[in-house]
Amino acid sequence: MKTSNIIQLTNRYQVSQTVLVLAATLILPILIHLLPNINGNISGAVLLPIFFAPLIATFLYKPHVAIFAGIIAPLLNYLISGKPSPQAATSMGIEIVLFVWMVYRLKDINTIRYVAAPISYLISSLIVALGLSVFSNVVDPFTLWGNCMFTAIPGILSLGLVNLAMLKLRK
């Protein structure tokens, strides 16, 4: 009887899917960081690999699956590899959670759903940049944000392509 209850809870909370998404959210950045720098920038800052598994999870599963991965993955990456820094891991976790929440809200709105991921990334990263100006020593959050967005253009476009693919897959 207890086994049946555990299985029901596991299915209800999508535990195996959460573990899978968390693993992908950990592994993708590690693999991408093995690539050489792109135009002098760290490949992860250009390609945004930590956002892909949560984005896909947002379309396939309940939102908590992607949110959990977004909170835990940057911290686990720090504990495993020492990167990113604790402050960056915290802000990255917040950024991923905001990103997932916005994609989840926008993916079903007819006019916006095709660009839900890029819009969500732009807004969530702006919110984090503004937060860093309040809670950290970032003097000009808009310049920081603009520089990050320019660097991440390939990643933002890739998020848009994954967004479109997930919409097509859902039909």
- In tens, the pLDDT along 42-76 reads 898 999 999 999 999 999 998 899 999 989 999 99
C-alpha–C-alpha distance, residues 124 and 134, integer Å: 15
**Phi/psi zone of residue 140: left (φ > 0), alpha (ψ -120 to 50 degrees), beta?**
beta
Q: Which of 9-18, 22-31, 43-52, 146-155 has the lowest mean pLDDT?
A: 9-18
End-to-end, the C-alpha distance of the chain in Å comes to: 38
| pLDDT-based confidence at residue 136 (cuts at 50, 70, 90) | confident
Alpha-carbon Rg for the chain, nearest whole angstrom, is: 17
Supply the pLDDT for residue 6.
Answer: 52
Supply the pLDDT for residue 145.
Answer: 94
Enclosing domain of residue 134: 2-170
| 3-state per-residue secondary structure call for 74-102 | HHHHHHHHCCCCHHHHHHHHHHHHHHHHH
Cα–Cα distances (Å) from 41 to 9, 57, 107, in that order, read 43, 27, 30
Closest among 98, 88, 92, 90 to 123, alpha carbons compared: 98
C-alpha–C-alpha distance, residues 11 and 22, integer Å: 17
Closest among 58, 33, 56 to 46, alpha carbons compared: 33
C-alpha–C-alpha distance, residues 33 and 35, integer Å: 5
Phi, psi of 38 (to 5 degrees): -110, 115
- How many other CB atoms are there within 10 angstroms of residue 84's CB atom? 20
C-alpha–C-alpha distance, residues 4 and 1, integer Å: 5
For residue 2, pLDDT over 70 is answered with no
Please report, for the domain that includes residue 48, its CATH number.
1.10.1760.20
Per the structure, the count of domains in the chain is: 1
| pLDDT-based confidence at residue 9 (cuts at 50, 70, 90) | low
Which residue has better confidence, 118 or 26?
A: 118
Supply the pLDDT for residue 116.
Answer: 97
Percent over 90 (pLDDT), the chain: 59
Supply the pLDDT for residue 14.
Answer: 73
Q: Which of 14-23, 89-98, 122-131 has the lowest mean pLDDT?
A: 14-23
